[in-house]
Amino acid sequence: MHFEHSLTIAVPAHIAFATMRDELNKIAVDLPNIVNMEILERKDAGGKTYITSKWQGKFILPDIIGQIIKVPDMAWVDRAEWFNKKYICNWSYEPFIFKDYIKVYGTDVYAADGEYTTITVKGDAYVNFLHYPLIPTLLKKKINEQVTNVLLSQMEPNFITLYKGLEKYVKAKNSKG
């Protein structure tokens, strides 16, 4: 399922982009359902920055899903390719569990408007539990729909909180000197 969210923050694009790329682990701690985020690998080459990070979060699953799938904590690998001159980041999430059944990927675009930046997140989330062996056949379609809805319903607030947190982080950093 396709998703798209935009938010304008009072931070110039070059600062918003560089801060998100280089200090995301400091900003991510403010996300309500994120427990931990750590950088696993970083490589700079050819005007791009490649960052692989591990995220751990807590998600509340609807009753029907939570009875079948026991997931108190979710963790995933985030692979990001930052195009440093274009202010674009391509990313993908690979969950540690259900990685054959859930795929999420997208692009963040940081558009400059003077002292403001509009960050647009576009992506696709694919959930396919139709071949998952532990779910009763009669429930597979319903669980597919519910997991997709939960995933998408939690993404927009996370993006908004993350980018508002970026704005707050930059302003606090600038006020210190």
pLDDT in tens, 74-125: 788 999 999 999 999 999 999 887 788 889 999 999 999 999 999 999 999 8
Domain count, the chain: 1
Which candidate, 76, 104, 86, places its Cα nearest to that of 21?
86
Assign residue 63 the CATH number of its domain: 3.30.530.20
pLDDT in tens, 13-69: 999 999 999 999 999 877 777 888 999 999 999 999 999 999 987 765 555 555 555
Beta-strand (E) ranges in 84-158?
88-95, 102-113, 116-127
> Containing domain of residue 55, as a range?
2-175
Which candidate, 58, 39, 56, 26, places its Cα nearest to that of 165?
26
- Give the 3-state secondary structure of residue 37: strand
Query: CB of 34 within 8 A of CB of 57?
Result: yes
For residue 50, the cross-strand partners are 43, 81
pTM: 0.86
